[in-house]
A and B are shown apart, each in its own frame.
Chain A
């Protein structure tokens, strides 16, 4: 099996954008091609990670539109929808296309246009992934977070403030990310006094609704140096995908994300490393509670101990294991199909030494992209070549 390299990457500014989905995808795609020093005609495969352009915008067929805009015909195209983990699933598909030998050059572009919808409408589009017996009760992804946060705080005797500190940390990191929706610090009092959204969670425990796009270019590692200097590409050393129950309440332990544990086991084994070898991680902090759950189920911390690591500063940018140096979904924003791609973009920047003021010492980085409330997960491990 071919080892797979990432030789180019880009992301647009995340936030409220005037551009529509096809324009966002083209903006990121064109920039990633430039970064890799290639043109659309060099692509064998072109994937688009996107959850709901039809539902949000009435625009389907986005991979075909993107191929035309970038002059990528006759590349094979496909849209990858795995809800919020569409980006991670797209990374998996792109990696698979190269590793299998089906493609010699693949680009993945993830994107979503959401902010023209009201919060209620956007929440309902996302909640449409739920089972009918959940949907009819008006359940939303934020309400799953509230239910889980209350159970976690009760079960592990964690203080409410610890969740707020995730938001404070990630907003602090986002200040140095020029692509982030919010380049603004928040203090703990602001988080804890913000309006209740899903008790015990409040407004600042949640990511915003966002427009944006991100892109990655893949090729076999054996030819990566023909495109870019040897220290400017990264290798996908491990990747794994897994699925948990559709119905959230049917999980044995609602505070455990089985898909995170299963997908990371596969990724660690492929990379030949363990959680202690990870230098930096991007986790899917759509809600603050998810950073605790993932950091534990990835094996970084014991079950019920993730909150203590945040309290102790272990996950700060200058801590032992920096988590969400990009600002995470919390500060950077969460354009559904783009988020998993943007997570890998941040890890790529970190392991190639191009993260600017966000740079940490990192040879190995991990991105964990979660769909639904842990329903589908992709874990990706990148290694630098410096």
Chain B
């Protein structure tokens, strides 16, 4: 499994939400071998340590094999702090399910504050066309931050 396909630091370790930091200070999720303007990777940023805001969201009802239906998704932008002047750091991810056993996901709106929450399996490996061993299937969903 390639490193770039995984959000986690490795088996047995607590999963981190791994973004890459590059020379010059830019941060990207997912990590790339080369950063903006050809800069080299110099470190790792754990996005669990950052809150985010919803840029946009959708509820998809026509989902592929092995994906929950409906599937609520959002693009979120992380708050990287006043000292950060690189490109926006964003992620696309599923909206988390409520913890009331209803099976429904949280409602979100543009500008809502959210936080990442880890899920062991985001979709069923092998149900779709992609080779199950080619990538990881765990990752981070987003849930609203309680004000």
Contact = CB atoms under 8 A, between A and B. Distances in A.
Contact of A119 (B4, B62, B129): B62
A135 B63 CA distance: 11
Contact of B60 (A132, A195, A198): A198
Interface string B47-78: 00000000111111111111110010111000
Contacts of A197: 60-62
Interface of B is mostly: loop
Given A55-B129, A139-B92, A249-B91, A151 B59 contact: no
B64 A199 contact: no
A137 B57 contact: no
Contacts, number: 129
B139 A142 contact: no
Interface string B77-104: 0000000000110111110000000000
A174 to B, nearest CB: 22
Nearest to A145: B58
Interface in B101-147: 110, 122-123, 128-130, 134-139
Residue of A139, A140, A195, A199 with highest tally of chain B CB at under 10 A: A139
B135 A136 contact: yes
B25 interface: no
Contacts of A312: none
Contacts of B129: 55, 124-125, 128
A150 interface: yes
| B interface bracket (residues with beta carbon within 8 Å of A) | 35 or more
Nearest to A122: B64
A143 B64 contact: no
A311 B68 CA distance: 36
B135 to A, nearest CB: 4
Contacts of A143: 58, 60, 71, 73
Nearest to B4: A132
A140 B68 CA distance: 13
A135 B130 contact: yes
A198 B90 contact: no
Contact of B128 (A124, A150, A199): A124
B21 interface: no
Contacts of A151: 55-56, 110
A147 B56 contact: yes
Nearest to B58: A146
A142 B56 CA distance: 14
A119 B66 CA distance: 14
A147 B62 contact: no
A198 B62 CA distance: 8
Nearest to B36: A250
Interface in A195-250: 195-201, 247-250
A197 B4 CA distance: 30
Residue of B55, B58, B71, B138 with highest tally of chain A CB at under 10 A: B58
A127 interface: yes
18 contacts: A124-B65, A124-B128, A133-B30, A133-B91, A133-B139, A136-B123, A137-B94, A138-B73, A138-B94, A140-B62, A147-B75, A195-B61, A196-B61, A197-B61, A199-B58, A248-B92, A249-B91, A252-B87
Interface of A: 55, 119-121, 123-125, 127-128, 131-140, 142-143, 146-148, 150-151, 154, 195-201, 247-250, 252, 254
Given A132-B135, A133-B139, 18 more contacts: A120-B62, A121-B64, A124-B64, A124-B128, A132-B4, A132-B30, A133-B30, A133-B92, A135-B130, A137-B73, A138-B68, A140-B64, A143-B60, A146-B60, A147-B92, A148-B56, A200-B58, A201-B58
